[in-house]
C-alpha cells in the first residue's frame, strides 16, 4: 500500500481515480479548494484535504503532501480567465513539483493533454492558448527535475463509459477522444508501472488494454 495525493481532487477524473486507487490498496488524499466538496471526495474513498493551492507557497504545499508516496496533478483553473489559468496550471503546478522534491515524494504523475509542449501551435488569439502555454511550461519544468515523473496526455475528454482500452500516439493515436473513466484507469496503472517513468504518453481510446498500452 502507498499513499497517493491527488491535486484537483474534486475533478471529474479525480473522482473516478480515487476509488480505483483504493481498490488497488492505496490510501488517497484528495486536495480540494471548496469545503462543500468534502462529502463527494469522501464518498469516492479519499480523505479530503481542504487547501487553496493557488495561494500556497512551496513550503505549505510540501507540508500538505508530507508522508505521501506519490502525487497526481489533476488540478486546473478550468479555462476562462487567462491570469488564473497561469496561476493554477503553470505556477501552482510548478510549486507542487518543487514541494514534492522538498517533501521527499519522488513519484509524480502529471495529467496534461494530447499535443502539449512548447511547439503546441495554439493560436495566441484563442481562448485555449493560455492553457496550452501554461501546461507546456509546467510539463517542461517537471522534465528537468529528478522526480520519477510521468506525463499523461489524454486527447479530448468524454463522459462515455470506460472501455478499458487505449491507443498511444506511438502506436498511431491521432488525438481523437478518450473517456474520463479510461484516463483515470491510465493514471492508476501508470502510478504502479515503473516503465512509465520519464515518459510523456499521449493516448486516445483504442484497442489495447490500458496496462499493456502504457508499457508500449
Average pLDDT for runs of 10 along the chain of length 216: 95 98 98 98 98 97 98 91 96 98 98 95 91 97 98 98 98 97 98 97 98 94
Q: What is the pLDDT of residue 59?
A: 98
Q: State pLDDT tens for residues 132-171.
A: 999 999 999 999 999 999 999 999 999 999 999 999 999 9
The catalytically annotated residue of 86, 108, 113, 131 is 131
Give the pLDDT confidence score for residue 69 in this predicted structure. Answer: 98
Q: Is 131 a catalytic residue?
A: yes
Mean pLDDT in the chain?
97
Task: Return the closest-CA partner of residue 73 out of 33, 26, 13.
Answer: 13
Q: Which long-range CB contacts under 8 A does 83-92 form with residues at least 24 apart?
A: 84/54, 85/130, 85/131, 85/134, 86/130, 86/133, 86/134, 87/54, 88/53, 88/54, 88/134, 89/131, 89/134, 89/135, 89/138, 90/133, 90/134, 90/135, 90/137, 90/138, 92/53, 92/54, 92/56
3-state secondary structure of 138: helix
pTM over 0.95: yes
In terms of Cβ atoms closer than 10 Å to its own Cβ (0-12, 13-18, 19+), residue 107 is buried
The confidence score (pLDDT) of residue 104 equals 98
Q: What percent of the chain has pLDDT over 70?
A: 100
Residue with cell 481510446: 205
Report phi then psi at 52, rounded to 5.
-95, 95
Amino acid at each position: 500500500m502507498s499513499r497517493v495525493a491527488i491535486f484537483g481532487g474534486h475533478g471529474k477524473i479525480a473522482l473516478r481515480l480515487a476509488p480505483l486507487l483504493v481498490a488497488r490498496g492505496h490510501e488517497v488524499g484528495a486536495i480540494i479548494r471548496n469545503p462543500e466538496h468534502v462529502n463527494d471526495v469522501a464518498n469516492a474513498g479519499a480523505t479530503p484535504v481542504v487547501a487553496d493551492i493557488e495561494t500556497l507557497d512551496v513550503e505549505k504545499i510540501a507540508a500538505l503532501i508530507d508522508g505521501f508516496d506519490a502525487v497526481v496533478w489533476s488540478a486546473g483553473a478550468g479555462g476562462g480567465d487567462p491570469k488564473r489559468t497561469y496561476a493554477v496550471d503553470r505556477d501552482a503546478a510548478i510549486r507542487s513539483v518543487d514541494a514534492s522534491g522538498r517533501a521527499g515524494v519522488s513519484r509524480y504523475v502529471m495529467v496534461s493533454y494530447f499535443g502539449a509542449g512548447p511547439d503546441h501551435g495554439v493560436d495566441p488569439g484563442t481562448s485555449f492558448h493560455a492553457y496550452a502555454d501554461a501546461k507546456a511550461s509546467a510539463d517542461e519544468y517537471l522534465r528537468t527535475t529528478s522526480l520519477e515523473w510521468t506525463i499523461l496526455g489524454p486527447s479530448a475528454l468524454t463522459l462515455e463509459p470506460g472501455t478499458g482500452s487505449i491507443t498511444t500516439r506511438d502506436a498511431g493515436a491521432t488525438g481523437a477522444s478518450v473517456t474520463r473513466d479510461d484516463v483515470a484507469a491510465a493514471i492508476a496503472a501508470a502510478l504502479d508501472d515503473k516503465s512509465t517513468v520519464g515518459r510523456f504518453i499521449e493516448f486516445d481510446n483504442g484497442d489495447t488494454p490500458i496496462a499493456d498500452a502504457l508499457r508500449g
